Structure 1
Amino acid sequence: MTEYKLAATAAMGLEGIVADEVKALGFDTVTENGKVYFSGGPEAIAKTNMWLRTADRIRVIVGEFKATTFDELFEKTKALPWEQFLPVDAAFPVAGKSVKSILFSVPDCQAIVKKAIAERLKTAYGRIGFLDETGPLFKLEISILKDKATLTIDSSGAGLHKRGYRVGQGDAPLKETLAAALVKLTKWNPDRPFADPFCGSGTIPIEAAMLGQNLAPGYNREFVSEQWPWIAESVWDRVREEVEDVADYDRKLMITGSDWDPAMIRVAEKNAAEAGFLDIIEWKTCDVKDLRLEGQNGVLVGNPPYGERLGEREEAEEITATLGRLMESYPSWSTYMLSSLDNFETLYGKRATKKRKLFNGFIRTDFYQYWGKRS
C-alpha cells in the first residue's frame, strides 16, 4: 500500500492536542509549529479527516526542497511525480505564501508552480496544449519558509471546523475546533455534569455531546478527497461504517447550555437539532448571576465576553466577578474559562490552578482552569 507524508495543521497552541488525537488513531507523529506530521495510506487520510476534532486540515505533502530562484522552483516542482496524485483532468488551483524567503512574490511563485505541474502532467499523459481541468478538485499550496518550499494538497476541502451542524451563529462564534479543544483540555468524561453559561450559538455544549457519545466530528459532512480517484469509495465506506459502529447514541449525558439572550438560545437549539442533539442538551435562557448548577463534580466551560469593543470592558469585568462569586457555592465543580482579560484572576477572586495560552482567531487569550474539590 502506498504511504504518504501527511500533515494535520493546527491553530497556535493546539499542536499538542492534535498530536494526541493523531496518536490515538494509531499514527506516530512529529510536531512543529502549526503542524503535526504523520504517515499513512488512503485510509489514514479518510480516518483523520473524519475523526480529528481539533485540527484545521489534513494536507498531503508532495515535495519539500530549497528554492532561491524561480528556475529552481520550476525545475524542482516539475521533477515531482504529480501524475501519481493528479489525474489528467484534475482541477488544481494553486494557493501560496512566502515568509522570510528570497522568493517573496507569492503570485509569481503560484504561477511558476502551476506551469511546472502542467508541464509534468502533459508529458506524463501525452497531452499537447492546455489541460481542461474539468475533473476532481485538488487544492494545492506552495508554502516557502526561509527558502524551503513545501508543496501540499489539501484533502479536507472546507476546514475541519465545518462540521455541518451550524445553521446559525452569533456575532463572535467560537470555532468548532477550538471549542472541542477546550472540552478535551478539561479531561471531562460523560459521567459528570457539563455546563456552558455563555453558550451563544451552542458550539461548546454540542462539541461536548459529540465527544460524550464518541461521535466522529466529520460524520455530517463531505471532504474534497472523496472525489480523488486514488482513494477508493470503499475506503470511505469503511471509515463511515466504523463511525456508526463505535458511536454510543444511547449514552445519557448531563449537558446544559445557557445564555442571557433568548435569541441565541433559539439559534443553539437549531444547531443542536441539526447535529442530532436537541433532546440530549438542556438549553436555558439565564443570566450568569441566576445560574444554578445541578449535580456534583461537574465541569463548567465557557467563553465569556472579552470586552474588546469600546465601552464593553466594564461589562465583561463585572460578568467575570459575578462568575467568581457564583462558583464559591459549587466547590466540587471545576471551572474553565477562555478570556483575553489580563486581570481575569483578580476579577474572579482566585488564582487559577493552571492557565494555558491560546488564540481565539487573532485574539490572544488564556484558558483559566480552576479545579474543584471532589466530593
Structure 2
Amino acid sequence: MAEVVAGIIAREKGAPVERVNVVIPEPGAHDVVVKVQACGVCHTDLAYRDGDIEDAFPFLLGHEAAGIVDAVGSEVSHVEVGDFVVLNWRAVCGECRACKKGEPKYCFNTHNASQPMTLEDGTELKPALGIGAFAEKTLVHEGQCTKVNPEEDPAVAGLLGCGVMAGLGAAVNTGNVGRGDSVAVFGVGGVGMAAIAGAKLAGATKIIAIDISDDKLELAKQFGATHTINSINGTGSGDTDSTVAKIREFTSGFGVDVAIDAVGRPETWTQAFYARDLAGTVVMVGVPNPTARIDVPAIDVFGRGGALKSSWYGDCLPERDFPMYVDLHLQGQFPLGDFVSERVGLDDIEQAFDTMKTGKVLRSVVVL
C-alpha cells in the first residue's frame, strides 16, 4: 500500500530546495522500503540541485544514507524487515559485460527500484543516484541495501554510501596503496580526508596532504597525514611547480608511489602526474567539470610509465566493503565517526549547502 512521507526535493535548477510530501508506492517484487535514519549532505546533492548532473527535475535529493528495512517486495531475499542497512548506488547486476568479466566493481547496469516515487499530484521524482534519501522513507532495489552491524551509529554508517567510500577506496582499491608506500593527496575535503585515512589504514608510511586551507591541513594530520603543503602559492608547471618540488623534497627527490587527485581540476591532476615516482600511480577521484581538459606532453606520459586511473565510487564492492569498514570503526581501527562534522534536521539542508561551500565541514548529516 502506498504511503506519504516528508522529503526534500530540488524542483528547478539553482532554486532553494523544498520540503514536500512524497508518495512511496507499494514495493515491487524486488523493491525495498527503507525508513531513513540519517543521510549525509554530499556535494553531489548540491550538484543535482544546481543542474550540474542532469536536467531531469524534480530531484529527490540525498544518497549517503542508513536506515531500517520497513517493507519488502514479494521476491526479496537479500534483506528482511528490521535489518539495519547502508544504501548504495552500485547494486551489481551480475549480467552486464563488466560483471561477466569478473569486474563487478565496474557494473554498468546497476539495479534501481522498479517504479518511481512521486509528488502527490503524480509528478515523478528522480532520486539522486537512484536513492533519494532526504526523506523519512525511500524506495530502492534490494541490491541497494547492504546489511552492516546494527551497533553502528546511522549518521556514521551512512557516510560509506558515497564520499568516504570514494576517497577510502581511491587509496585502498584503485591506488592499491601498500605497506611502506608514499602517498600524496591533493584536496583534503571529505573525499581527500578519507583517502588519507585509507592510506594510513593500508600501511603507507609517508602521506602528504595538499590543500589551500591551513585549517584543513591541520585536520589532515589527525587522519594520518605525515606532511602538509599549502599550495596556494604554487607556480610553474610540470617539475617546476613549487608544490611538486616540495613533494619531491619530502620523498628524497623521487616523488610518491601513489598520487590521488581528490579535486578533479586539470591543475591538480597535472600536479599529481608530475609528483609521482617513475612507474607510480595517479588516481583521479575528484569529479571534473565536463568541459575541462588535461594537456601534458605525450613523451612525459610514456617516459614516466606507471598507471593513470580514475576511481568510480572508490572501486568498491558494497557487500564486501561496507560491513568491513563499519566493523573496523567499531573496533577503533578506522576513524569513520570523525567525518561527521554536524548533525542537522531535514529542514536544514539548504543551510547545510551553504556551510559546505565555506569548506569548514567534512560532512553535515541529516538525522531523522
Normalised TM-score (structure 2): 0.37
- The structure whose RCO (Cα within 8 Å, separation 6+) is larger is 2
Larger radius of gyration: 1
